[in-house]
Structure 1
Amino acid sequence: MRLTAPSFIILAISLACGLFALLRVFGVVLITLPISGFWLMTVAWGLLVFGVLFRKV
């Protein structure tokens, strides 16, 4: 299995989701989302893994 670096768009979306989840844990709510911080961080991690495992994404 060959791993590749994620594209910039996948990386940026993943970092944004992770940042929103961390801010929510610390009590800072920039935008209200109907999803908990745990699931938001899970989505961020899943996007990052998807970007690393699949080429040209």
Structure 2
Amino acid sequence: MAKQVTCDCGFMLRTPSDDELVKHVQLHAKDTHSMDLTPEQALARAVSVEATIQA
């Protein structure tokens, strides 16, 4: 099962990897919103979604 984070600013990330999600959400929060998120805070913003594969 993949996880997805959607930000009010339009940023969206979907990945099956918790580590990748944390990394990119933390970078987005820091670079775009000047926010420092812990890994736990980044994961708390995620919802589980069906993984989709685009051909």
* TM-score after normalising by structure 2: 0.31
Highest Rg: 1 or 2?
A: 1
From the two aligned structures, give the one with the greater strand fraction: 2
From the two aligned structures, give the one with the greater helix fraction: 1
* TM-score after normalising by structure 1: 0.30
Higher relative contact order by CA 8 Å / sep ≥ 6: 1 or 2? 1
